[in-house]
Amino acid sequence: MSTLKGARTDGARILVTGANRGIGLAFVEEALARGAATVYAGVRDPEDITPELAAAGARVVRLEVTSAEDVAAAAAACADVNVVINNAGYFGNQRLVETDDPEVARREMEVNYFAPLAMTRAFAPVISAQGGGSIVNVLSVAAIAPTAFMGGYSPSKAAALYLGGIARAELEPRGITVTSLVVGSVDTRMAAHVDGAKERPRDIAAVGLRAMERGEWTCDTDRMAVESRSRLAMDPVRYERGLGRLLHAGSLSTKA
């Protein structure tokens, strides 16, 4: 295992995708609080940002992550970046096979896998030109086991998990680390339909930035992620069957 450390947040020039709210906004706020020199906030429409982002002090950048033109423009406009946080995500809340809209799974793969891949390809030369740095991919516990009630979201995040490991192997000789964050249930719009305890987005951002600085390959960011990993390791079949039964549950909860 490599001992290459990641970028320090203090003094870093950081680009966060999906920065308008939720975990993305939390990364913006946490990075600035920890002394980042510049934080670029990637959003789909710079004319329609939340008051919280407007007050954060970040530089807002137009960035629809599935647009090749936007990604290229961001790489040119943010040419001093040494950290990229691929946070933008999409959950279509559809079944994978028995779906009313087959295109949802394709959209999930475009946003959750192909977009981080495109961002990594575009910004690897930018980060390398700064002497190295880090890429952080915000994933989900749905990446580590087939999560039936999350339809195409789960395979898209699993693909992104593999992307992180492969990109890390390719980019380490250029001084670039890639850290994959395995995240449980967080208090965001995406988890609004889930009952029970949820993590604070700022807590996830704080853990994620520390993992980046340590140069970790993969980090389980919270209690749910750690417990999910443990249950999967102890009895993979039972754990996956349990996830499958949740497909038919009347409601979802983080309670054990």
For the chain, which residues make up each domain, given as ranges?
Answer: 13-250
Rg (C-alpha) for the chain, rounded Å, is 17
Q: Where are the alpha helices (DSSP H) in 10-137?
A: 22-33, 51-56, 68-77, 103-109, 115-129
Count how many Cα atoms sit within 13 Å of the Cα of residue 16 in the half-sphere of its side chain.
Answer: 30
CB 154 within 8 A of CB 147: yes
Residue 162 has a pLDDT of 98
CA distance 85 to 19: 10
| pLDDT tens by residue, the chain, 256 residues | 568 999 999 999 999 999 999 999 999 999 999 999 999 999 999 999 999 999 999 999 999 999 999 999 999 999 999 999 999 999 999 999 999 999 999 999 999 999 999 999 999 999 999 999 999 999 999 999 999 999 999 999 999 999 999 999 999 999 999 999 999 988 665 644 554 576 899 999 999 999 999 999 999 999 999 999 999 999 999 999 999 988 877 656 565 4
CA 131 vs CA 80, 127, 174, 176: distances in Å: 11, 7, 8, 9
Residue 254 has a pLDDT of 60
Torsion angles phi and psi, residue 14, rounded to 5: -120, 135
CATH ID of 13-250, from 3.40.50.970, 3.30.1320.10, 3.30.450.20, 3.40.50.720: 3.40.50.720
This prediction's pTM = 0.92
CA 102 vs CA 19, 96, 115: distances in Å: 28, 8, 19
CB 22 within 8 A of CB 189: yes
Residue 196 has a pLDDT of 57
CA distance 105 to 158: 13
CB 253 within 8 A of CB 195: yes
CB 139 within 8 A of CB 160: yes
Residue 247 has a pLDDT of 85
Q: Where are the beta strands (DSSP E) in the chain?
A: 13-16, 38-43, 59-62, 83-86, 133-138, 176-182, 194-195, 218-220, 252-253
Identify the residue whose tokens are 């981080």.
116
Residue 3 has a pLDDT of 80
Identify the residue whose tokens are 């950081």.
14
* 87-92-97-102 Cα dihedral, nearest 10 degrees: -110
